[in-house]
Structure 1
């Protein structure tokens, strides 16, 4: 994993911003910094005009985080998990109950609400994982590989739901190795490698600016090379 080196980004409200790069490029480090999971050793950033140095607690209240690993309790039901995470965001009573039912229904999981998470398929767990991060209607949502390892139907349900969230005002910052998905999903993209930003812009602008590029994958290979990035 690379340290970040002079990374400078402006992400505007309402964007779906993709952070793309090979394994170890610095994507997870950058998201971890912006979420407050690790502290920067230099530099600064702000979210919704709140500077992290002075307003870290306020920032945490307006962001949602959906990690790549399932952040769920396997022996609890979907409903129990979501009530627990919702209460951590300060939701309670009928508002929390109704929000859990609404989101489970929208993602096709309501009939499984009282089943234990350890009986769920990967795609079902991924959808519950997403719900846990958005119950409080965050202004900014961080997603680390939200569709990794899921079936086509679950992937479609997740992407469509995220598009609705975005249309309703949530800014989305997203990492993925699925470049075709990112090309279709993201309004803007930054490609990172070795802790630095190699290119940023809309998917179309990046494709147009890269010689012989037909799609975002061609851009990615052109910028980061063909060398394998195996890591142990």
Structure 2
């Protein structure tokens, strides 16, 4: 029994370090986005960078651990919106919810553009979110409430536009955000005042988001 105590102690220390790293990364990503270095995160967590790297070999591993709950909430928001009796209210509530998530976390939009091949759970939540969003859009169109030329990529367009509020709004971002979202929702309502230009493909949209965040490779950065 005595021989097992050091192992238990080491495991407890390792778990405490892991939680400190995740907590520090969550704060930093929310405030500054995902561009911060692993060294800076280690310093804020008060652990050595080698300790951080043992737990999370790449930034993608750390980001996946930090944002798994947020990805689940993102998918859940769309699922909840599908239960609303009024299809338009469900759609608008979802857009407002996503804007609120983005407003409170600068790293949120960036995570939605990344791929996490080693994080099965996070990728599963993102796929679930995309499927729910597609159903939400189809439902609102079938009700005659959402303009017919709206596409799932337009949700990303909302996130891109709203990212400017999050990044540059400062103390009044909370006031600017609902006004921008209200303008956009009015533009999305059927039938629309004029035809829209052709929507970009999902691949084009994804690449534009990566360029916006200064990364042409996705989440595989260190």
Q: For the superposition of Structure 1 and Structure 2, which TM-score range results when normalised by the shorter chain?
A: under 0.3
Q: TM-score, normalised by structure 1?
A: 0.25
Could you say which structure has the higher strand fraction? 1
Higher helix share: 2
Normalised TM-score (structure 2): 0.26
Structure possessing the higher relative contact order (Cα contacts under 8 Å, 6 or more residues apart): 1
